[in-house]
Structure formats: structure tokens, C-alpha cells
Structure 1
Amino acid sequence: MPGTGGPGLGARDAGVPVVARGWPVGDRPAVLRGWEPPATPYGRGHRGVDLAAPAGAPVRAVAAGTVSFAGRVAGRGVVSVELTGTGDPPLRTTYEPVAVSESVSVEKGDDVAAGEVLGTVEPTGSHCTGCLHWGLLRGDVYLDPLSLLPPWLLDGGPPVLLPVLGVPEPARPRA
């Protein structure tokens, strides 16, 4: 399939349905670091994308699903959501660092809707500050999370028709 529509955004993963209709943070956050798949299961790489997001920004589920994990891993808040209707094994999105508070709390087993707030971006992350690390897996295989988004979200929006200027109107037939 064609690329995701922007420089450095990576190639679309075959077999990943376009299920998201919004970004996990903001309207169109900057991609600070793209997906770099490892050559081997334990090799070097970047198993997700880093999206610019200030501390306290709401983190939203990109698609409907069930929370499969909500807790701390290596001192960071992590939320994982298995996406509804995405095959067997289902696609699973991950979000970190996410703070879950009394006002916004998700737990393992909770059903979430697309766009539902899962928590907020914690002030510090694992490898970047001021960002959300967003991942995508099918089973144990990491995929490009940007492949969940429709191309118009990656390219900045749907096409817009503009008026044609400087072109004379066609002659009208006489009655």
C-alpha cells in the first residue's frame, strides 16, 4: 500500500484496518520520532511513534475496545486497549506515559469508546519529555500505529475544493 502521506511517517502496514478517526493527543500532533521496526524480535528499533504532547494533555483511545492493561511499568503509567473487531489476535494500542486520576480512571476490562479519555500525559516519559509514546501490536508483533489512521488525518485533512479564479465562464446558449 502507499505510504502514510507525510515525510518520515513510515509505510502503511498491510492487514491493519483503518479504524481510528482521531489522534490519541491533540488535533494533529507533531510526530517527534517515527516507527522504526527492529530487524529481529529483540533488535534495536522504535516500537511506536512519539507524538508531541504537553504534560496534562488528555490521552484518548483512538478506537473502541477493551482495556487490557492499566498500571505502572518501570515507573511509568501505561494503558493498553484491545481494539474491537480487528481479528484474532486483536490489534492492541499502547499509550505511555499516562497518569490515571480519580476523575479519569480506566481499569483492565473496561470498555472504551473511540475518543474516550484514558488519562493524561505524565510530565516525564521513558525516552522523551513532552511526548506520548503510542504503540500498536498484533500478538507479539509491533506495527506502525500511524497505519490505524486514515490518510486524510495524516495529510492534514480531506480535500477542499477552491474557486477557480481567472477562467472565463463558458458561453451560455441563446434561447
Structure 2
Amino acid sequence: MRFTTYFTALLLALGSFWPVGPPSPGIVRGWQPPPGPYAAGHRGVDLAAPPDAPVVAPAAGTVTFAGPVGGRGVLTLTLPGTGAPPLRTTFSPVTSLVPAGTTVAAGTPIARVAPGTHCPETCLHWGLRRGDRYLNPLLLLRRGPSRLLPPGP
């Protein structure tokens, strides 16, 4: 349990940028982890984004892949200092603005949303993995402090 708490705190401290926006895009489809490695599920989050919208790095990292996969443009950003194996965040369908091997700071434009068939409307699929394990990419976002509201009438 202690490792899980540390891991979540690390993820929350990593980045503060939505990959598309501003300020934050609508979530077209949320993360639905599959019950097993080969079962159905949604291994990422679909964010509302028009074609050609800029995609920025949600955290500092190195572009480790930029190219087509199954007919769609994909970009993978590997995040250093996140343990072994390091966290990798992926974006599709995109047109890459930077080649593999490029190191980028958080907030750097790395791609543009490409038209695709992943969503009924154009969207950006955002994924997160550690090795073969899929994680919720929303954990990369910093959230503001919680605020209590006074009791209502």
C-alpha cells in the first residue's frame, strides 16, 4: 500500500499541462481499465480536440517514437526519473512536430491532432504505460487544492 501512495504522489507531481486545451478539454471517453491484459477496455482517455489542434508535452521527457501505427500517427513521450521501467505517455492520431530522440520541456508543442476514426468526432487519444501496464493518464495532471464550501441554506 505504501508503494501505491508514493507512486500516485509521484504521478501527480510530474506535470501540470493538459496535452490539448486551453484550459482543459472535454473528456469524450474516460479511462476504463480492462480486467485482464487481453480483455476489452479503454486504455487511455479521449480528449475533445479539433483537427490540427496543437498537442503539448504534459511533462518533460524524450520523444521515443513518432510515426504511423496501424494507419494512425502516434507519438510516445518517455518521462525520465519515473522509475524502472519509466512511464511512457502516448498520443494518437497525431502528426508529429518533433522527431524521435528530441528532449522536450513540459508545455512544448510536440504534435498536431490529425483527423482519424478513433472517435465519432475528432479527438486526441492520450495513454499512459509503465512497461506493459496501462495507467490512467489523468494522474499526470496537477490538481489544485481542495476547497470546502460553506453549508448551503
TM-score normalized with structure 2 length: 0.85
CA distance in 2, matches of 1:72, 1:131: 17
Aligned amino acid, residue 129 of structure 1: E
Shift in Å at residue 126 of structure 1?
Answer: 2.7
Give 5+ residue unaligned stretches, structure 1.
2-12, 153-157, 161-175
**Other-structure match for 2:64:** 68
20, 38, 43: which one aligns with 1:25? 20
Percent sequence identity over matched residues? Answer: 54
**Higher gyration radius (CA):** 1
Give how far 1:67 is off. Answer: 0.8
Q: 1:151: Cα distance to partner? A: 2.2
Matching of residues 1-175 of structure 1 within 5 Å:
15-16=7-8, 17-18=11-12, 19-26=14-21, 27-100=23-96, 105-152=97-144
Kept in 2: contact 1:76–1:126 (CA 8 A) = no
What is the count of residue pairs matched by the alignment?
A: 142
1:9 corresponds in structure 2 to none
Q: Any stretches of 5+ residues in structure 2 without a counterpart?
A: 148-153
Residue identity matched to 1:45: G
Deviation of residue 159 (structure 1)? Answer: 6.9
Distance in 1, matches of 2:119 and 2:104, equals 27
Write out the 4+ residue segments of structure 1 that deviate beyond 6 Å after TM superposition: none
Q: Which amino acid aligns with 1:135?
A: G
Q: Greater share of helix residues, 1 or 2?
A: 2
Q: CA RMSD in A?
A: 2.1
- When structure 1 is superposed on structure 2, of 40-49 and 117-126 the one drifting more is 117-126
Higher strand share: 2
